[in-house]
Structure 1
Amino acid sequence: MPMTHFSQAIKEPQPSMNRPGSNAWLGDVTVSKDEDKTIVGGFFRMEKSDAPLVYEYTYHEMKIIVEGEMVITDETGYSVEAKVGDVFYFEKGSVITFNSPSYGIGFFCGQRREGEG
């Protein structure tokens, strides 16, 4: 089948990332069938938390903010107050810190296998 449709996928509940003090959820919605260069797409949700989420990327990822707002900071200290429509590229090996003053949702596309990360 050349096309697959996931109606209102943004509304599906995502599993917790189980990081103490951080209200963050991440879920894969779809995965490619290419075994050599697998890509996964899904949603990341972050709510205001006691602690930020610090994430080390073991793969390349693109993310677009689709709802709310986040503060995204890399290991050099470069920080962006991310708003709806902002697009990010996270290079494999980077350490990124996510936080939100309220909540934010990002759609991601990562070069990894389903469930990894």
Structure 2
Amino acid sequence: MPVESKSAAERYKLTDQVDKYVFFDDIFNSKGETTQDPLAGIWFRIEKGPPIGPGVHGYDESGVVYEGTVTLKDETGTEKKLGPGDSFFIHRGSKVLFSSDDYGVCFKCAARPKGKL
């Protein structure tokens, strides 16, 4: 299979909207509907607003903040405010809320099929 690549401009073209202040696009995915260990590469943007999350994470997820700030708060009350260059890992089964005081842009990789936030 060929190597895939995307321009840095892709992070400004996010089309999927979770809420009025949360946007994402899967830009890379494992091929095939029945891939045993799927992996998705995702551009994610969050703007100022109340904390939001998927409930319980059904998959492992790792990310790097590229711009702005992103705050992660887990079910234990631990809160981390991350800035450009900071990375994070969310374990499957965790409950994590995302928020931002201004805006944040992240590149994330998740062990999940395409389009499942």
Pairing 1:33-72 to 2, within 5 Å after superposition: 33=31, 35-49=35-49, 51-56=50-55, 57-72=57-72
Matched residue, 1:105: 105
Query: Size of the alignment, in residue pairs?
Result: 113
Amino acid at match of 2:37: K
Please list every run of at least 4 consecutive aligned residues from structure 1 whose deviation after the TM superposition is greater than 3 angstroms.
none
Identity of paired residues, percent?
29
Structure with the bigger percentage of strand: 2
Instruction: Map Cα deviations across residues 40-77 of structure 1 (whole Å, 9 max, x no partner).
Output: 0011111011x211333111110110110011111101
Measured against aligned partners, the alpha-carbon deviations of 1:61-113 in whole angstroms (never above 9, x if no partner) come to: 10110110011111101111111111111111111111111000111100010
For residues 4-83 of structure 1, the aligned pairs below 5 Å read 4-8=4-8, 9-18=10-19, 23-33=21-31, 35-49=35-49, 51-56=50-55, 57-83=57-83
Deviates more, 1:32-41 or 1:71-80: 32-41
**Structure 1 runs not aligned, ≥5 long:** none
Q: What SS is found at the alignment partner of 2:18?
A: coil
Q: Aligned to 1:10, what secondary structure does the other structure show?
A: helix
Residue pair 1:71, 1:80 contacting (<8 A) in 2 also:
yes
TM-score (norm 1): 0.88
CA distance in 2, matches of 1:87, 1:10: 17
Q: Which ranges of structure 2 fall in alignment gaps of 5 or more residues? A: none
